[in-house]
A and B are shown apart, each in its own frame.
Chain A
Amino acid sequence: EPEVTQTPSHQVTQMGQEVILRCVPISNHLYFYWYRQILGQKVEFLVSFYNNEISEKSEIFDDQFSVERPDGSNFTLKIRSTKLEDSAMYFCAGRQWWGEKLFFGSGTQLSVL
Protein backbone atom coordinates (compact mmCIF):
# COMPACT_ATOMS: atom_id res chain seq x y z
CA GLU A 1 0.00 0.00 0.00
CA PRO A 2 1.29 3.52 -0.73
CA GLU A 3 2.72 5.46 2.20
CA VAL A 4 3.03 9.01 3.44
CA THR A 5 6.67 9.60 4.34
CA GLN A 6 7.77 12.05 7.01
CA THR A 7 11.25 13.27 7.85
CA PRO A 8 12.90 13.54 10.26
CA SER A 9 11.38 11.07 12.68
CA HIS A 10 12.80 13.07 15.60
CA GLN A 11 13.83 16.71 15.82
CA VAL A 12 15.32 18.43 18.81
CA THR A 13 15.64 22.20 18.72
CA GLN A 14 16.27 25.16 20.96
CA MET A 15 13.46 27.54 21.79
CA GLY A 16 13.31 30.37 19.28
CA GLN A 17 14.83 28.36 16.44
CA GLU A 18 13.11 27.65 13.16
CA VAL A 19 12.21 24.10 12.22
CA ILE A 20 10.96 22.59 8.99
CA LEU A 21 9.11 19.31 9.02
CA ARG A 22 8.90 17.47 5.75
CA CYS A 23 6.36 15.14 4.21
CA VAL A 24 6.11 13.31 0.91
CA PRO A 25 2.42 12.62 0.32
CA ILE A 26 0.96 9.90 -1.85
CA SER A 27 1.13 11.01 -5.45
CA ASN A 28 -2.57 10.96 -6.37
CA HIS A 29 -3.77 12.75 -3.26
CA LEU A 30 -5.31 16.20 -3.54
CA TYR A 31 -5.86 17.23 0.08
CA PHE A 32 -2.98 17.51 2.52
CA TYR A 33 -3.04 18.08 6.24
CA TRP A 34 -0.88 18.67 9.26
CA TYR A 35 -2.02 17.44 12.64
CA ARG A 36 -0.25 17.43 15.95
CA GLN A 37 -0.52 15.42 19.13
CA ILE A 38 0.87 16.70 22.39
CA LEU A 39 1.83 13.81 24.64
CA GLY A 40 -1.26 12.31 26.23
CA GLN A 41 -3.66 14.59 24.36
CA LYS A 42 -5.94 14.46 21.33
CA VAL A 43 -4.80 14.47 17.74
CA GLU A 44 -5.45 18.10 16.76
CA PHE A 45 -5.96 19.56 13.32
CA LEU A 46 -3.55 22.31 12.32
CA VAL A 47 -4.04 23.08 8.64
CA SER A 48 -5.36 21.73 5.38
CA PHE A 49 -3.93 22.44 1.95
CA TYR A 50 -5.61 22.07 -1.42
CA ASN A 51 -4.77 23.32 -4.87
CA ASN A 52 -1.55 24.88 -3.60
CA GLU A 53 -3.11 27.00 -0.92
CA ILE A 54 -4.35 26.77 2.63
CA SER A 55 -8.01 25.80 2.63
CA GLU A 56 -8.57 25.82 6.37
CA LYS A 57 -6.58 26.32 9.53
CA SER A 58 -7.18 25.97 13.23
CA GLU A 59 -6.57 28.49 15.99
CA ILE A 60 -3.30 26.72 16.74
CA PHE A 61 -1.96 27.60 13.30
CA ASP A 62 -0.89 31.17 14.02
CA ASP A 63 1.61 33.43 12.26
CA GLN A 64 4.51 31.32 13.49
CA PHE A 65 3.38 28.45 11.28
CA SER A 66 3.47 28.17 7.52
CA VAL A 67 3.06 25.41 4.97
CA GLU A 68 4.09 25.03 1.39
CA ARG A 69 4.38 22.51 -1.41
CA PRO A 70 6.82 24.24 -3.71
CA ASP A 71 7.76 21.45 -6.08
CA GLY A 72 4.52 19.52 -6.21
CA SER A 73 5.92 16.71 -4.11
CA ASN A 74 7.31 17.71 -0.70
CA PHE A 75 4.80 19.24 1.70
CA THR A 76 6.44 21.15 4.52
CA LEU A 77 5.43 22.66 7.83
CA LYS A 78 7.62 25.48 9.10
CA ILE A 79 7.61 26.83 12.61
CA ARG A 80 9.42 30.15 12.57
CA SER A 81 10.32 30.59 16.22
CA THR A 82 9.64 27.50 18.25
CA LYS A 83 8.19 27.62 21.75
CA LEU A 84 8.32 25.00 24.46
CA GLU A 85 4.63 24.30 23.93
CA ASP A 86 5.27 23.36 20.30
CA SER A 87 6.77 20.11 21.52
CA ALA A 88 4.54 17.40 20.08
CA MET A 89 4.28 14.67 17.49
CA TYR A 90 3.45 16.23 14.13
CA PHE A 91 1.60 14.12 11.58
CA CYS A 92 1.25 14.73 7.88
CA ALA A 93 -1.82 13.25 6.23
CA GLY A 94 -3.42 13.18 2.83
CA ARG A 95 -6.36 11.92 0.91
CA GLN A 96 -7.80 11.97 -2.54
CA TRP A 97 -11.18 13.44 -1.74
CA TRP A 98 -13.64 14.15 1.06
CA GLY A 99 -15.09 10.90 2.33
CA GLU A 100 -12.03 8.94 1.31
CA LYS A 101 -9.58 7.26 3.62
CA LEU A 102 -7.11 9.62 5.26
CA PHE A 103 -3.56 8.31 5.15
CA PHE A 104 -1.18 9.35 7.92
CA GLY A 105 2.58 9.47 8.01
CA SER A 106 4.47 7.98 10.93
CA GLY A 107 5.07 11.42 12.45
CA THR A 108 7.91 13.70 13.50
CA GLN A 109 8.51 13.97 17.21
CA LEU A 110 9.51 17.59 17.86
CA SER A 111 11.17 18.43 21.14
CA VAL A 112 11.75 22.10 21.95
CA LEU A 113 14.27 22.71 24.74
Chain B
Amino acid sequence: SQELEQSPQSLIVQEGKNLTINCTSSKTLYGLYWYKQKYGEGLIFLMMLQKGGEEKSHEKITAKLDEKKQQSSLHITASQPSHAGIYLCGADRGYKGNAGNMLTFGGGTRLMVKP
Protein backbone atom coordinates (compact mmCIF):
# COMPACT_ATOMS: atom_id res chain seq x y z
CA SER B 1 0.00 0.00 0.00
CA GLN B 2 1.06 3.56 -0.49
CA GLU B 3 2.46 5.22 2.60
CA LEU B 4 2.56 8.99 2.87
CA GLU B 5 4.78 10.63 5.44
CA GLN B 6 4.26 14.26 6.35
CA SER B 7 6.75 16.50 8.08
CA PRO B 8 6.76 18.20 10.39
CA GLN B 9 3.93 16.71 12.44
CA SER B 10 3.30 20.09 14.01
CA LEU B 11 4.50 23.60 13.46
CA ILE B 12 4.14 26.87 15.35
CA VAL B 13 5.07 30.02 13.47
CA GLN B 14 4.83 33.71 14.11
CA GLU B 15 2.33 35.56 11.99
CA GLY B 16 4.00 36.87 8.85
CA LYS B 17 6.56 34.09 8.63
CA ASN B 18 6.88 31.66 5.74
CA LEU B 19 6.63 27.92 6.24
CA THR B 20 6.89 24.67 4.31
CA ILE B 21 5.20 21.31 4.86
CA ASN B 22 6.45 18.19 3.12
CA CYS B 23 4.76 15.02 1.98
CA THR B 24 6.86 12.05 0.92
CA SER B 25 5.64 8.88 -0.72
CA SER B 26 7.13 5.41 -0.79
CA LYS B 27 5.77 4.99 -4.34
CA THR B 28 5.24 7.15 -7.40
CA LEU B 29 2.44 9.63 -6.93
CA TYR B 30 -0.20 9.58 -9.65
CA GLY B 31 -2.03 12.47 -8.13
CA LEU B 32 -1.24 14.45 -5.01
CA TYR B 33 -3.92 16.38 -3.19
CA TRP B 34 -3.60 18.91 -0.42
CA TYR B 35 -6.45 19.45 2.01
CA LYS B 36 -6.91 21.65 5.04
CA GLN B 37 -8.90 20.53 8.07
CA LYS B 38 -9.99 22.68 10.94
CA TYR B 39 -10.42 20.87 14.25
CA GLY B 40 -13.53 18.73 14.22
CA GLU B 41 -14.51 19.74 10.71
CA GLY B 42 -14.38 18.39 7.19
CA LEU B 43 -11.55 18.44 4.68
CA ILE B 44 -11.30 21.50 2.47
CA PHE B 45 -9.65 20.97 -0.89
CA LEU B 46 -6.66 23.22 -1.56
CA MET B 47 -4.81 21.93 -4.62
CA MET B 48 -4.19 18.92 -6.81
CA LEU B 49 -0.93 18.12 -8.60
CA GLN B 50 -0.51 15.45 -11.21
CA LYS B 51 2.56 16.13 -13.32
CA GLY B 52 6.18 15.89 -12.29
CA GLY B 53 7.55 19.37 -11.64
CA GLU B 54 4.08 20.87 -11.45
CA GLU B 55 3.54 23.90 -9.25
CA LYS B 56 0.24 25.57 -8.33
CA SER B 57 -0.56 28.62 -6.28
CA HIS B 58 -3.68 29.95 -4.66
CA GLU B 59 -3.50 33.18 -2.69
CA LYS B 60 -0.49 32.72 -0.41
CA ILE B 61 -0.24 28.95 -0.71
CA THR B 62 2.00 27.22 -3.25
CA ALA B 63 2.23 23.48 -3.78
CA LYS B 64 4.86 21.66 -5.80
CA LEU B 65 5.31 18.08 -6.96
CA ASP B 66 8.89 17.02 -7.63
CA GLU B 67 10.04 15.64 -10.96
CA LYS B 68 10.20 12.09 -9.66
CA LYS B 69 6.65 12.41 -8.33
CA GLN B 70 7.50 11.09 -4.90
CA GLN B 71 7.55 14.27 -2.88
CA SER B 72 5.35 17.31 -2.60
CA SER B 73 5.72 20.48 -0.62
CA LEU B 74 3.20 23.06 0.51
CA HIS B 75 4.56 26.53 1.10
CA ILE B 76 2.71 29.33 2.87
CA THR B 77 4.00 32.85 2.44
CA ALA B 78 3.45 35.50 5.11
CA SER B 79 1.33 33.23 7.31
CA GLN B 80 -1.82 34.52 8.98
CA PRO B 81 -3.91 33.17 11.87
CA SER B 82 -6.48 32.06 9.27
CA HIS B 83 -3.92 29.57 7.94
CA ALA B 84 -4.02 27.62 11.19
CA GLY B 85 -5.34 24.08 10.95
CA ILE B 86 -4.28 20.60 9.93
CA TYR B 87 -2.83 20.16 6.45
CA LEU B 88 -3.24 16.75 4.89
CA CYS B 89 -1.72 15.32 1.76
CA GLY B 90 -3.58 12.58 -0.06
CA ALA B 91 -2.49 10.43 -2.99
CA ASP B 92 -4.09 8.55 -5.84
CA ARG B 93 -2.82 5.12 -6.77
CA GLY B 94 -2.56 4.27 -10.39
CA TYR B 95 -5.89 3.88 -12.13
CA LYS B 96 -7.51 0.58 -11.18
CA GLY B 97 -10.50 0.50 -13.50
CA ASN B 98 -13.72 0.68 -11.56
CA ALA B 99 -12.09 -0.48 -8.33
CA GLY B 100 -12.02 1.89 -5.42
CA ASN B 101 -9.51 4.45 -6.58
CA MET B 102 -9.58 6.01 -3.18
CA LEU B 103 -7.12 8.51 -1.83
CA THR B 104 -4.77 7.51 0.97
CA PHE B 105 -3.72 10.22 3.40
CA GLY B 106 -0.67 11.24 5.33
CA GLY B 107 -0.81 11.79 9.06
CA GLY B 108 -1.26 15.53 8.77
CA THR B 109 0.67 18.60 9.87
CA ARG B 110 -0.85 20.71 12.62
CA LEU B 111 -0.11 24.39 12.02
CA MET B 112 -0.51 27.11 14.61
CA VAL B 113 0.10 30.75 13.73
CA LYS B 114 0.83 33.07 16.62
CA PRO B 115 -0.48 36.62 16.19
Contact = CB atoms under 8 A, between A and B. Distances in A.
Judge: A and B partners, yes or no.
Answer: yes
Interface of A: 31, 33, 41-45, 48, 50-51, 55-57, 89, 91, 98-99, 101-107, 109
Contacts of A105: 42
Nearest to B45: A101
Contacts of A104: 35, 42-45
B103 A42 contact: no
Contacts, number: 67
A41 B107 CA distance: 7
A106 B42 contact: yes
Interface residues of B, number: 28
Contacts of B90: 43, 102
A99 B49 CA distance: 10
Contacts of A91: 42-43
Interface stretch (B12-20, B60-68, B70-78, B94-102): B94-102
B87 interface: no
Given A43-B43, A107-B41, A109-B40, A98 B107 contact: no
A103 B103 CA distance: 11
A44 B42 CA distance: 14
B50 A99 contact: yes
The 4 closest A-B pairs by CB, nearest first: A56-B100, A48-B100, A106-B42, A104-B43
B42 A42 contact: no
Nearest to A48: B100
Contact of B98 (A44, A51, A102, A109): A51
